[in-house]
A = this chain, B = another copy of it.
Amino acid sequence: MHYDHQVQVRYGETDQMGVVHHANYLLYFEEARTAFLASHGQPYGQLEKDGLALPVRKLDMRFRSPAHYEDQLRVRVAVDRITAASVRFVYEIWRDATETQIATGSTELACIDLKAEPRVPHVLPKSMRELFG
């Protein structure tokens, strides 16, 4: 099960090397991941309203080819691994117009209880475990 999300590169996301600044791919990952969750009836905003959150605790990225301003990119996202209190998403970013792979990566998210201070782990919502388990 995966999800394809479209983003178009904004001018402010480029840097003086004339390409997308590497940190901005994390925003594309995030947008794709939450669109994926929403498309399966799990809008992330609702999760926070319910007192839980999914901060990123680990990530990696590999940059294959630079993306440019106005490029139309497809972010493919899938769940790679799910435990009681964490979920790992994997990503591929493609510029389909030239069949170019731009970047790949993963983010591991921990489920936490927003009402606890300091943060404590919390089991993922049942609906999410059933969906991706």
Contact = CB atoms under 8 A, between A and B. Distances in A.
Interface of A: 8, 10-12, 14-19, 21-24, 26-27, 30-31, 34, 38, 43-45, 48, 53, 55-63, 65-66, 68-70, 114, 118-119
Nearest to A110: B63
B22 A26 contact: yes
Contacts of A31: 8, 10
- The oligomer's copy count stands at 4
Contacts of A58: 60-63
The majority secondary structure among interface residues of chain A is mixed
Nearest to A7: B10
A38 B8 CA distance: 13
